Copies of this chain bind each other. A is one copy, B any other.
Amino acid sequence: MDYTAKLDEAIERLHEEGRYRTFIDIERRKGNFPHARWRRPDGTEQPITVWCGNDYLGMGQHPVVLDAMHEAVDATGAGSGGTRNISGTTIYHKRLEAELADLHGKEAALLFTSAYIANDATLSTLPKLFPGLIIYSDELNHASMIEGVRRNGGAKRIFRHNDVEHLRELLAADDPDAPKLIAFESVYSMDGDFGPVEAICDLADEFGALTYIDEVHAVGMYGPRGAGVAERDRLMHRIDIINGTLAKAYGVMGGYIASSARMCDAVRSYAPGFIFTTSLPPAVAAGAAASVAHLKRDHALREKHQTQAKILKTRLKGMGLPLIDHGSHIVPVIVGDPVHTKQLSDMLLEGYGIYVQPINFPTVPRGTERLRFTPSPVHGPDEMDTLIHAMDELWSQCALNRAEMTG
């Protein structure tokens, strides 16, 4: 068995399809977000502006977050030293879970090392708690939800993206007495469109299903206290399990679910992905708690974020670029070819110091390869001008179509 040849084949397949990923090494500079240094493979460096980060509000450089991290490192050291059960539950974890439960108006919250694990571990554990559970999952749900639903081999139904009529058909076709759960997202990060939260809650009521929402691209950014789209739409009380992240708008790391005390207790007790892993470093939990607490009050930052997204979309549309606009903060410009997308990304980086990663299959469907910009309150008018100018030049230079997909 020639294992090396097999690895070469696997890697070659990616090159052939134009979707081999090249990681860009950067260092953001605290206090100067979105500016960063790019270190090339040859060791030379160049200043760049990051336009594709998920630190949507710049909280990763906010003094309340950094101060909390420094304080926790000084008080208690680096790591937690154990799993949550074996010496790894600290007052920092408890404080953060209380902050998150309060954020979502739930009895409890449960921390995971990432929202990926929170989705994977929770969704794969629910069939153990509700034998015979059928999970109804939106076809565009995130990879972590797909992995969670797939595991343990429970029954699943995939409904067409945001198609509540299709979801209704699937629900109606199953045994009325079977336990059911509808899993979906509030903001789908690749197109930036919203899930039909209220319609799904209505269906859940009608068919006696639990609701599970992934708000990772919404927490911190939507709703009066930053609890997400369900809070904005006053539907939070109708969601049984809310999944969120501390690694995007909150600027740190980690993920969680917020739910009833019973649900959190059961998941905590039955999910291997929760039980058998070291808990987050106390400093990470402390930074995240400070960030969540701050964003419960800082409406101005949320508003500025939305304003920046609107300005960028208006300017890109003004140039006739094929933009997807569903009214969220995410700005995807469709290129429609993996090689062109990569080339544009390379040219932006090398020629203009603008860093935006190409998004290719399987993250998005083939033919919809894109550049996905994430404007934020720390992207000022100068950064915006530079980006608009560069996109205009490159779009002409590469003779790409305009306005084909402007929505």
User: Which of A143-151, A331-339, A399-407 contacts its partner?
Assistant: A143-151
Interface residues as binary, A357-369 with B (CB distance below 8 Å gives 1, 0 otherwise): 1010000000000
User: Which of A259-267, A298-306, A387-395 contacts its partner?
Assistant: A259-267
A69-B78 in contact given A142-B276, A278-B114 (Cβ < 8 Å): yes
> Is there contact, CB below 8 Å, between B142 and A7?
no
Name A81's contact: one of B20, B53, B130 (CB within 8 Å).
B53
> Is there contact, CB below 8 Å, between A26 and B278?
no
Is there a chain B Cβ closer than 8 Å to A54's Cβ? yes
Report how far A7 CA is from B240 CA in the complex, Å: 13
Is there a chain B Cβ closer than 8 Å to A24's Cβ? yes
Residues in B whose Cβ lies below 8 Å from that of A50: 81, 87
Residues in B whose Cβ lies below 8 Å from that of A54: 81-83, 86-87, 278
Is there a chain B Cβ closer than 8 Å to A99's Cβ? no
Interface residues as binary, A242-260 with B (CB distance below 8 Å gives 1, 0 otherwise): 0001111011110000001
> Is there contact, CB below 8 Å, between B357 and A85?
yes
Residues in B whose Cβ lies below 8 Å from that of A194: none
Interface residues as binary, A1-17 with B (CB distance below 8 Å gives 1, 0 otherwise): 10110111011001000
> Is there contact, CB below 8 Å, between A78 and B116?
no
Contact residue range for chain A? 35 or more
Closest Cβ neighbor of A280 among chain B residues? B253
Q: How many copies does the complex hold?
A: 2
Report how far A228 CA is from B252 CA in the complex, Å: 31
> Is there contact, CB below 8 Å, between B114 and A1?
no
10 of the cross-chain contacts (CB-CB < 8 Å) are: A3-B210, A6-B129, A14-B269, A26-B91, A27-B282, A55-B79, A78-B291, A115-B277, A143-B275, A253-B281
> Is there contact, CB below 8 Å, between A269 and B11?
yes
Task: List the interface of chain A (C-beta within 8 A of B).
Answer: 1, 3-4, 6-8, 10-11, 14, 20-21, 23-30, 33, 39, 50, 52-55, 59-62, 65-66, 69-70, 73-94, 113-117, 120, 128-130, 142-144, 146-147, 150-151, 177-180, 208, 210, 240, 245-248, 250-253, 260, 262-263, 265-266, 268-270, 272-273, 275-278, 280-284, 287, 291, 355, 357, 359
A78-B90 in contact given A70-B70, A73-B69, A263-B7 (Cβ < 8 Å): no
Since A1-B178, A144-B276 are in contact, a sample of 19 more A-B pairs with Cβ atoms closer than 8 Å, ordered by chain A residue number, is: A3-B130, A4-B260, A7-B129, A8-B262, A11-B266, A23-B85, A26-B90, A53-B87, A54-B82, A60-B77, A65-B78, A66-B73, A73-B73, A78-B253, A87-B357, A113-B113, A114-B278, A252-B281, A253-B284
The 8 closest A-B pairs by CB, nearest first: A55-B81, A247-B278, A53-B81, A23-B89, A116-B277, A60-B77, A61-B77, A7-B262
A78-B52 in contact given A7-B262, A10-B269, A281-B252 (Cβ < 8 Å): no
Question: Which of the listed residues A77, A89, A147 has the most CB atoms from chain B within 10 Å of its own CB?
Answer: A77
Closest Cβ neighbor of A38 among chain B residues? B91
Residues in B whose Cβ lies below 8 Å from that of A268: 21
A28-B81 in contact given A73-B69, A113-B114, A253-B278 (Cβ < 8 Å): yes
> Is there contact, CB below 8 Å, between B76 and A251?
no
> Is there contact, CB below 8 Å, between A53 and B30?
no
Name A6's contact: one of B39, B74, B130 (CB within 8 Å).
B130
A277-B114 in contact given A60-B79, A87-B355 (Cβ < 8 Å): yes
> Is there contact, CB below 8 Å, between A60 and B85?
no
Q: A25 to nearest B CB, angstroms?
A: 5
Name A77's contact: one of B20, B28, B93, B281 (CB within 8 Å).
B28
Q: A42 to nearest B CB, angstroms?
A: 13
